Structure 1
Amino acid sequence: MYFATVFLVLPICLALAALTDFLEMTIPNRIPVILVTAFLVAAPFSGLSLGDLAWHFAAAGSVFVVVFALFALNVMGGGDAKLLSAAALWFGFNASLAEFLILTAYIGGALTILVILARAHWLKLEFVGIRLPQTLMVANKIPYAIAIGAAGLIAYPSSPLVMAAIRNLG
């Protein structure tokens, strides 16, 4: 159960969040809830100290403060803010969190450019048979869970829970 939780929950949740955000421009609330719950289930078996676990919660709380401010300024969607905060819980306050957040920013920037280009060339894309969801054409909205998910999957192998699970396999 422990290994399945560590190795499957975060990747599956990130992929589902990216997919639903792309198709519907929404991230179901159950995805961040599952991420937090799965972390709480797996963390006691990971071998992380109470201090380490506190740093994981501090990381999630710090990310939440920043993304909540961005949400309040209408720069980021609420679902994206919840997803980013819940995913940060899995990374803790260390280099893997920095890697995750930096990758999210870079991939998010590239994604934003691609969405703007797709919107500008919508009719040309449809003419050549490329059909994108109508929700993607909503002005001022970017399906940022795609960037969060991609960055999370790239940084995931260096997360403390994964590293601990790999050590426990041997």
Structure 2
Amino acid sequence: MLSFLPVLVFPLLMAAAGVRDAISYTIPNWMPLALAGVFLVAAPLAGLGWAAIGLHLAVGFGALFIGMAMFALGWLGGGDAKLFAAAALWFGWPGVVAFVLVTALFGGLFTVLLLMARKYAPPRLIGAWPNELFQQDAAIPYGVALALGALTVFPGSEIFAAGVAA
């Protein structure tokens, strides 16, 4: 029963982080920390061995390093970098490759659609949104793309398959 935990918690936290980023342009630290903490409990319950868990941890730390570099360059927000690392931890190797590619596709699509909405959306829609999401010079909340990429790829992941099979 407990091995089903990742099937429930990961999608809920990722979806919540994406929505939170779209609404407030923030991803609270507790969200990526909760994802990492639940992974450490869920991975052994799902039957991942120590070598597999170690590889997942290496991927997560690598993603954190890459995310920090992207934050330093101004390409991502700090919350996005931490969420990227926490999600990458769940996918491990080679699953992180699909996660990164699908997230990049969603990121590009979301950016184009958001820029079009900013240009062509009716003023009442812009005024109804609770933050500056539709303002011309506002940043792009990349947590949305991270959540969409993670939710799309997760059903094909090793840990999802193990959680469903249990």
TM-score by length of 1: 0.89
Conserved? CA contact 2:3–2:45, under 8 Å: no
Give the aligned partner of residue 111 of structure 1.
110
CA RMSD of aligned residues (A): 1.9
Who is 2:165 aligned against? 167
Aligned partner of 2:72 in structure 1 is 72
- How many residues are paired up? 165
1:40-89 Cα deviation digits (max 9, x unpaired): 11112121111111110111111111111110011110000000100111
- Report the secondary structure of 2:111's partner residue: helix
Correspondence for 2:41: 41
Structure 2 gap ranges (5+): none
The residue type equivalent to 1:71 in the other structure is F
Map 1:50-129 → 2, pairs under 5 A: 50-94=50-94, 96-121=95-120, 124-127=121-124
- The structure-2 alpha-carbon separation of the partners of 1:138 and 1:83, relative to structure 1 and needing over 3 Å to count, comes to farther
Give the percent of matched residue pairs that are identical in Structure 1 and Structure 2: 36
Q: Is the 8 A contact 2:13 2:35 kept in 1?
A: yes
Q: Could you tell me which runs of 5 or more consecutive residues in structure 1 were left unpaired when the two chains were aligned.
A: none
Given that residues 43 and 53 in structure 2 are in contact (C-alpha distance below 8 angstroms), is that contact kept between their aligned partners in structure 1? Answer: yes
Q: What is the CA deviation profile of residues 24-52 of structure 1, one whole-angstrom value per residue up to 9, with x for unaligned ones?
A: 11111111011001001111212111111
Cα offset, 1:116, TM superposition: 1.6
Distance 1:9 1:160, change over 3 A: same
State the Cα distance separating 1:138 from its structure 2 match: 6.9
Q: SS of 2:76's equivalent?
A: coil
Encode CA deviations 1:106-150: one digit per residue, 9 max, x unaligned: 1001111122222223xx422578833332127351111111111
Q: 138, 145, 149: which is aligned to 1:147?
A: 145
Hey, what's the Cα distance between the residues in 2 that align with 1:21 and 1:129?
17
1:135 matched residue in structure 2 = 132
How far 1:8 moved relative to its partner?
Answer: 1.0
The normalised TM-score by structure 2 is: 0.91
Displaced runs of 4+ in structure 1, greater than 4 A? 127-130
